[in-house]
Every structure is written in C-alpha cells, then in structure tokens.
Structure 1
Amino acid sequence: MAIVSSLDGSTGELTIKVKGRFDFSAHQEFRDAYEKVDSAPALYLVDMGETTYLDSSALGMLLLLRDHAGGDSARIKISSCNSDVKKILTISNFEQLFEID
C-alpha cells in the first residue's frame, strides 16, 4: 500500500493517489496526505487508478476527508476507479457525497 500526495500550487488541487489495497492499514498514511498540507486546497482529487481493493474502513476514511475538507461545501473528486471499486462506492451511495468518475 502506498499513498502519494501532491499539491498543485497554481490550481490549489491536492491529488492523493491510492495504490494497492485501501483498507485500515492505510489509515494514518491517508490522513497525513491531507492533514499535513500547509494551505487549504481548493479541490481534493482522490486518484484510485491503481487501487485494487476497498473496504468499509476506506469508506470511513473518505468520510473523514470530507469532514476535514468542509463537509457539504467540500470539493472532492474520486477518479479513475476500476469497476469493482466503483461498484462499492455506488452501493454505498457515495455518489451523493462525492463527485465520482
């Protein structure tokens, strides 16, 4: 499991790439990816192009990110999901809370 984050200073977009299994073992690494950013990002992009697995603790971590980013006013996009990951997000009704593509 590896989580890599980068902030684009010109757009204010924080990209968080989740590689491999997204489960409880990634909890601290995922939180550090957005909590240790000096400024408030305009957009959070969670790139799941290399995510192979997602469990209920990962769903909880996404909700914690949403709370941290401002709740209902947060701009969070989840992108590049494979069909299995997208199915879990859809079943969980996360398309109502996040922009998913």
Structure 2
Amino acid sequence: MSVTSEVSLDGKQLTIAVKGRFDFGSHQAFRDAYERFYKVPETYIVDLKEATYLDSSALGMLLLLRDHAGGEGGDVRVINSSSDVRKILAISNFEKLFDIT
C-alpha cells in the first residue's frame, strides 16, 4: 500500500493516488497526503487506478477528506476506480456525495 499526493502548479488541485489496499493501514498516510499543505486546494482528486481493495475505513477516510474540503460545498472527485471498487462506492451511496468517474 502506498499513498502519494501531487499538487498542481497553480495550487488549485491536489491529486491523491492510492496503490494497493485502501484500508485502515492507509489512514495516516492518506490524511498526511492532504493535511500537510498550507494552502487549501479548490479541488481534490482521489485516483484509485491502482487500488486493489477498499473497505469501510477507506470510506470513512473519504468522508474525512470531504469534510476537510468543505463538506457539501467541497469539490472531491474519485477517479479511475475498478469495477469492484465502484460497486462498493455505489452500494455505500457515495455517488451522491462524490463525483465518481
């Protein structure tokens, strides 16, 4: 498991990439990926292209990121999720909370 983050040159977008299992073991690395930046970006992108697994603690981490981004008014997008991960997000009704593509 690894979590990396990259901010856009203009500082308006932060992309967080999760590789491997996205579970409680990722908690601190995931939080560090977005809390360590002084300037709060306008958009957060969570790239799950290389995520192989997602559990309920990962769903909680996505909710914490949403709160950090401003709650309902925040812009958090989940991209590149596999069909299995997308099913978990759909069952959890996360499609109502996040822009999932």
Q: TM-score, normalised by structure 1?
A: 0.98
Aligned to 2:50: 50
Please show how residues 66-85 of structure 1 align to structure 2 within 5 Å.
66-85=66-85
Aligned to 2:28: 28
How far 1:10 sits from its partner (Å)?
2.1
4+ runs of 1 displaced by more than 2 Å?
none
Aligned to 1:6: 6
Q: CA RMSD in A?
A: 0.8
Which amino acid in the other structure matches residue 82 of structure 1?
A: S
Q: Which runs of 5+ in 1 are unaligned?
A: none
Aligned to 2:94: 94
Q: Secondary structure at the match of 2:16?
A: strand
Q: Which runs of 5+ in 2 are unaligned?
A: none
Q: Secondary structure at the match of 1:41?
A: coil
Counterparts of 1:75 and 1:9 in 2: how far apart (Å)?
18
Q: Secondary structure at the match of 1:29?
A: helix
How far 1:55 sits from its partner (Å)?
0.1
1:23-80 CA-partner distances (Å, limit 9, x unpaired):
0000000000000012110100000000000000000000000011100000000000
Aligned residues: 101
Counterparts of 2:49 and 2:98 in 1: how far apart (Å)?
16
Among all aligned residue pairs of Structure 1 and Structure 2, give the percentage whose two residues are the same amino acid: 58
Q: Secondary structure at the match of 2:45?
A: strand
Q: TM-score, normalised by structure 2?
A: 0.98
